Amino acid sequence: MANAVKGVIAGAKGAPVSVETILVPDPGPGEALVRVQACGVCHTDLHYREGAITNDFPFLLGHEASGIVEKVGPNVTNVAPGDFVILAWRAPCGTCRSCLRGRPWYCFASRNAQQKMTRQDGTPLAAAIGIGAFAELALVAAGQAVKVNPAARPEAAGLVGCGIMAGLGAAINTGGVSRGDSVAVIGCGGVGNAAIAGAKLAGAHTIIGVDVDDRKLEWAKQFGATHTINSRHTDPVQAIRDLTGGNGVNVAIEAVGKPETYRQAFYARDHAGTVVLVGVPSPEMKIELPLLEVFGRGGVLRSSWYGDCLPTRDFPMFIDLYLQGRLDLERFVSETITLDKVEEAFHKMERGEVLRSVVVF
């Protein structure tokens, strides 16, 4: 049986999204049907709408979600109806070359629901990052539904499913930030501020937030930045060196995804330090660096995919830290909105007015 519910569809490249009635099938083997309670508006949803990811229109958007398991299909053992879950876009397969090497956070064959959600006329919808949660019901592979403490507020918890996990993980998993480290985070939107919160959780001594927008730098301080730099007025590389005894930081996290900010991260780190790229570049971007500098400065240049997270390990942990008052997830929720306000939320996001708009159902 298919369930008719409202969902947010991106129908054509660059066109405003619309709320339509869609059909969500009941779960088949290995699948779970989740009643979505909250879903954050992420840049990636906007990238889908702009055709910047693939051209498989129409898309069902939404992927930073939490909700209650409604039904499960045959052979599902990790969740049961009534469980409170965060949806993950990584559900390790256990059998690909990376999983077999014991590195499931790089899984190359992450699982998704086999059945498609469709328009009422049967047109299949491509679900954003294999989720599609700007809808009252979402059909996912059961492994994508990660059980967490139900005491968490759904609108805060859902954010751990994407952007906030990307930032926390960029600092903790990919950057390996540890006690006493100095850290710079370039770009203080949702992901960057989560990296700042992650650096603080990991015990960093100096945390420098860099952005061109004073409003975002104010947020950075609230999440734990010990210093902020407005790079519109100040050379951030020099300012970061000045704050670190002339040396640069141990870990420089690039949360913008542009060549110029990557170059800032590259030169703002200390010798043998780590650069983490978590900002997502677009296809035409290129970077040129003196190869001798790449060699001579040593250290590590890494990319962080989804914060190199293992959802079953990391989501419950971060939700527990949040419930203990040690991770301020609530602060990322700038506003709650209804399903028909997603297009408006994209514009607020582009203007930098919000950390996260979150659809509540």
**By CB under 5 A, is residue 168 in contact with Zn ion?**
no
Residue 206 among the catalytic residues: no
Of residues 315, 361, 304, 314, the one with CA closest to residue 336: 361
Q: Which is nearer to Zn ion, 17 or 42 (CB)?
A: 42
Residue 44 among the catalytic residues: yes
**By CB under 5 A, is residue 99 in contact with Zn ion?**
yes
Coil, strand or helix at 44: helix
For Zn ion, the binding residue among 65, 162, 191, 310 (CB under 5 A) is 162
Residue 308's CB is within 10 A of a number of other CB atoms, namely 23
Q: Which is nearer to Zn ion, 92 or 143 (CB)?
A: 92
Q: Side chain identity at 291, as an amino acid letter?
A: L
Burial class for 317, CB neighbours closer than 10 Å (0-12, 13-18, 19+): middle
**By CB under 5 A, is residue 275 in contact with Zn ion?**
no
Query: Which residue of the set 35, 47, 50, 96 is catalytic?
Result: 96
260: Cβ–Cβ under 8 A, 6 or more apart, which residues?
Answer: none
Give the whole-angstrom CA distance, residue 179 versus residue 119: 51
Contact in structure between 248 and 270 (CB atoms under 8 Å) = yes
Q: Which is nearer to Zn ion, 26 or 50 (CB)?
A: 50
**By CB under 5 A, is residue 358 in contact with Zn ion?**
no
- Residue 312: both structure tokens together: 């079953």
Coil, strand or helix at 87: strand
H or E element in which residue 99 lies: helix 97-100
For Zn ion, the binding residue among 17, 31, 32, 44 (CB under 5 A) is 44
Residue 35 among the catalytic residues: no
Here's the x/- map for Zn ion, 53-92, by CB under 5 A: it reads as: ---------------------------------------x
**By CB under 5 A, is residue 342 in contact with Zn ion?**
no
Write phi, then psi, for 333 (nearest 5 degrees): -85, 100
Question: In the complex, what is the shortest distance from the CB of residue 44 to Zn ion, in angstroms, rounded to a whole number?
Answer: 4
Residue 271 among the catalytic residues: no
Q: Which residue has the tokens 């002339």?
A: 246
Of residues 218, 210, 272, the one with CA closest to residue 242: 210
Q: Which is nearer to Zn ion, 25 or 163 (CB)?
A: 163
Question: In the complex, what is the shortest distance from the CB of residue 254 to Zn ion, in angstroms, rounded to a whole number?
Answer: 17
For Zn ion, the binding residue among 33, 36, 42, 46 (CB under 5 A) is 42
**By CB under 5 A, is residue 357 in contact with Zn ion?**
no
**By CB under 5 A, is residue 96 in contact with Zn ion?**
yes
Residues in the chain: 361
Q: Which residues are annotated as catalytic?
A: 42-44, 63-64, 93, 96, 99, 107, 111, 162, 356
| Interface residue list for Zn ion (CB under 5 A) | 42, 44, 92-93, 96, 99, 107, 109, 162-163
